[in-house]
Amino acid sequence: MRLAEEKKIVPILNSTNYGAGVTLDSINMKNHHRATFILTFGAITGNAGMILYSGATAAAATSTCAFDYAVGGAAIASASADVLAAKTTATAASGMTLTAATYASKMLVIEVDASNMDVANGEEWLHLVIDGSASSGICHAVAILEPRYTSDRSATALA
């Protein structure tokens, strides 16, 4: 498959209600330049915070990372669902807020360069955390990674 030769596709969140908070699977970025997260949402109530972390081990939330994001222009399965709004940059410290009015039934695309991670402290793991303590919502997610070295059978980025 041509896509698998040029990119690494990683499922990082099965269909989940993030109402109690959820940490998406950690990705080892040591062999990748960039990660693009694609999240799709169902119904959402309330607002949830989302922060991107890097760490020296899987699930370590040592340092926050800035990232760029854009939301689809309409509900999934509608015309313009695949047209992204203007890019916004989330600060490392505060991340972004998933508001029901903006993200319900839509696609969210998040991009981060490996250079945004705290590599000085040996941090090569990356993961998103959704704090849904004041909300609930159904979410699914995959990551598409840009490998440093391409291959049709690349090693896992989850271990």
159 residues of the chain, pLDDT tens digit each: 567 678 889 999 999 999 888 999 999 999 899 999 999 999 999 999 999 999 999 999 999 999 999 999 999 999 999 999 999 999 999 999 999 999 999 999 999 998 888 877 788 999 999 998 878 899 999 999 998 877 666 777 877
CA R_g for the chain: 15
Give the containing element (helix H, strand E) for 5: helix 2-6
Distance, in Å, from the CA atom of 34 to the CA atom of 147, rounded to the nearest integer, reads 8
- Provide the residue ranges of all domains of the chain, joining segments of one domain with +: 30-147
Quote the pTM value: 0.92
Q: What is the pLDDT of residue 1?
A: 58
Distance, in Å, from the CA atom of 103 to the CA atom of 87, rounded to the nearest integer, reads 15
DSSP state of 91: B
Q: What is the pLDDT of residue 20?
A: 86
Buried b (16+ CB within 10 A) or exposed e, 131-152: bbeebbbbbbbebbbbbeeeee
